[in-house]
Structure 1
């Protein structure tokens, strides 16, 4: 596996990125005006040593748009080749697209070679899809020299353009892209943010199955999102906005039963549309927690922190420490801890949708607490703990971190999204006595692709007022090594046997479709240390 050191500044224009992905994002072939078409691109995901999951959507007739429930059953063929010209096809098959699945189709292809790049495409009724490129995982017992993952989170269509996806699509050194949740947002146009950069569809808040399908379909009209899916396999988990803001087991902050119906019905619709439109295998029915392996170098434990959690605690009532309350659910926590103990890989990566590192706010000025709280999904009335994060469920966190410490599980790295900020943290066993208390893991948090962060909410230039809060938070939390509360962007995780490094990239302007990308910082954790240092 190749490894190239990132440059301090990478400037990729829209034209250059388009040229880089052209073989995978080419237009559909000529077809009859009323015949099938592939308007939503192609995708792959969840790579295994012998296979990968392929996805597309066919529009069989012009009326059969996402969420319409219209259109005939349509046979869709697929093929996988070693070369971009499809001269050497190694696997092929067919699947039927129907209105029952919104004319989305998946092919779980097996029998491929490990750690190998492949090209794939679909066809139906004389129309051919764009071609995509994917890659299988290393063999289970192989010892790869490295693993490189793009890492993204929180992509609100109305808040800006998906330039982060364009930059990742243009890279050829990635093995996959990890999406840590909030792939889409459920709000009505103009709700968040109040002044959209571009409107999404439908214009109203999505509640029904048809609504969620339309919103997924509209996101897939974005050329940068289509390019990302065509260029790399995507490994995705969900957070809350795939259903509704601050979701929990039996409801959500952004769900009003009297006006928006039964929560179980809304959640069922959102989950069904998600699995229709995303290249994801549900390991447990209706959830996204599952595990992938990359030889003996790393395993990737992917969490679902919305389906089983208790309702978020009120601030200041002590409920965050109630041992009966759970974030993960007992079964998922047992699955995670047993998997960590049994693993024989060098690194244990955990795809984690909400931050696990504890944070106290120290002397953060009052005028900054509101915008910070909004990024964190907290009530406006106060800011004691991150109640939507692991800070609101301390018993589960204590069980997990205690397990890492007692079983001497080393090299655990949490990869986290959700809070629209870049962070690099040690994860202490007991934060109050850190650094006397040991660090049992590390955490790399990626900022949002587009969703509002502190400077957006304050309406000020980036890296002005937020600097006060960043200094106060680091002073009150010695395990926080770095944070950036204002930038939008993405990250690249680079893992070798010796270290796991996170390269943090920031965009010049989320509202600019041709935004440039700059490497802001790099942090790493060395083998066996459980500590973050600047790289």
Structure 2
């Protein structure tokens, strides 16, 4: 495949305030006279879902918004007239220095979403952007192009999150990330939306705010409607309008435990063809997300941050074979893959060719091996429920790289045989926070050495162990933490209970993840506090604790 396009930002942007849309102005043709004899103007279009940017490269950016041309043209409705939309990029928030602009047509064919791949821009430059339709101006967003590929960067800071379930709580994590003012980009590692019907997976069994549609999403209209509901969240809108987004998908953008041939949460007899459902989910995703697909239908691509770091972004759902049955022994089969042959070859080649100090890998499911047999039954069962697995006989999670050990051995063997160092996996999915060495052989760690390191961020709002058990956080689960760490010596820390996000700080000397937790995901005004930090120093391939966050 063609080498995907690099991206980044160098200096950190200052805190910004999203500008509210200008007052609605008459821009549509008049309707017939009313019975009272006065003219009734057609409703003006609106920008109800915010603005976003993504995948910055040295000379370009992806810009996104959605136009609601008429009140009935809601997401998924497949109605509403075509609307001409003007986009503008300026070097100042007042738009006195517009440097790029153009027009694009919003139509029902794309659910009235607008995506512009703006090119010809200056590297490492802050821009402001906005859209206008029929005289109505969108909120204003701020973004930044990447530095030149050979730029000598000394610093990169990413906000990192995953697993945001609308029904389980508010997106306070996004609000706190948006308010920082020091992020170069927002990295989202999967499960941006959830496919479940209302009430099926929520906050300890309680719906904090209902899904739309209320039923499980299955077709294109459903997925568009669910994405549209998410994009009405003010905290999500604020974050997207503040920094560029870099995103990959995991399973819930489709259905739980998705693979190339089906999913745990898909029944063909009653829910139709799996390939048709996936096609609908992917179409809606690319319509509603500010991402640039590297090839049709996938999100794997590579972005670059000068000579400091490159970021390989993986698609671990489109090409994987179905998960092995628990206890079957099939996890070791060479016939099974989590990446697909082409993607694994692409990843290995990119890691070998990399000339940056750090090789970051956006990875939706854990690559570090984790054995769960040491857990007591009362913790094993809720953990299996969280992972969507049978409670009996759970030794490994076959939805993670643990279920595809041949691919993992090939990848880690490549890192060690080629002497590739400073590889850091950045992971979501498991609704818990982890910091771990990625061992060459878990059974003989640490003697066998490490191939990489891994930071896993917890969920923004999705249930974790204490929620499933309906107990106070950091109580019962602490026994599970002790058992996991005792049975997996390469795991340096795990938090099974908290909701929150991470902030990844990259310098030539080290990569550090600061973990932040929310006070209460069910409260719109939830506070955030730092809880732990871990880092890996250049050349060490090892995780170590740090006693304060990066300032």
TM-score by length of 1: 0.95
Tell me the residue number matched to 1:353: 364
- Is 2:435 the partner of 1:424? yes
Q: 3-state DSSP class of the match of 1:231? A: coil
Deviation, 1:382, is 3.0
Secondary structure of the residue aligned to 1:405 is helix
Distance 2:304 2:246 in 1: 12
Alignment of 1:93-104 (within 5 A): 93-104=102-113
Partner of 1:55: 64
Contact 2:12 2:183 in 1 (8 A): no
Return the index of the structure with the highest Cα Rg: 2
- 1:121 is aligned to 130
Aligned ranges 1:396-475 → 2 under 5 Å: 396-475=407-486
Give how far 1:21 is off.
Answer: 4.8
In structure 2, the partner of 1:306 is: 317
Alignment TM-score, normalising by the size of structure 2: 0.93
> For the Cα contact (< 8 Å) 1:429–1:437, is it kept in 2?
yes
Asked whether the equivalents of residues 29 and 129 of structure 1 are also in contact (C-alpha less than 8 Å), the reply is: no
Q: What corresponds to 2:25 in structure 1?
A: 31
Structure 1 362/384 Cα, relative in aligned 2: closer, same or farther at 3 Å? closer
Task: Point out the more displaced range, 290-299 or 82-91.
Answer: 82-91
Which one of 195, 207, 232 corresponds to residue 206 of structure 2?
195
Residue 255 of structure 2 corresponds to residue 244 of structure 1? yes
Q: Distance in 1 between matches of 2:155 and 2:388?
A: 36
Residue in 1 aligned with 2:152? 143
**1:359-380 deviations in Å (ceiling 9; x for gaps):** 1124211100111122233223
Distance, in Å, in 1 between the alignment partners of 2:404 and 2:278 is 22
Task: For residue 118 of structure 1, report the CA deviation from its aligned partner.
Answer: 1.0
Determine the structure 2 residue equivalent to 1:522. Answer: 533
Cross-structure match for 1:7: none
- Is the counterpart of residue 75 in structure 1 residue 69 in structure 2? no
Give me the whole-angstrom Cα distance separating, in 2, the residues matched to 1:65 and 1:31.
21
2:193 aligns with 184
Taking the aligned partners of 1:28 and 1:533, their CA distance within structure 2 comes to 50
Structure 2: segments with no counterpart, 5+ residues: 1-9, 27-41, 547-551
Give the SS at the match of 1:252.
Answer: coil
Question: Counterparts of 1:189 and 1:297 in 2: how far apart (Å)?
Answer: 44
Task: Check conservation: 2:50, 2:66, Cα contact below 8 A.
Answer: yes
Note the alpha carbon deviations across 1:19-40, whole angstroms, 9 max, x for none: 9653x25245323561111111
Q: Is the 8 A contact 1:46 1:279 kept in 2?
A: yes
Match of 2:306 among 295, 304, 309: 295
1:487-506 correspondence runs (5 A): 487-506=498-517
CA distance in 2, matches of 1:486, 1:169: 24
For the 8 Å contact 1:424–1:480, the answer to whether it is kept is: yes
1:375 partner SS: helix
Q: How many residues align?
A: 520
CA-based RMSD of the aligned residues comes to: 1.4
Alignment gaps of 5+ in structure 1: 5-18
In structure 1, distance between residues paired with 2:84 and 2:496:
48
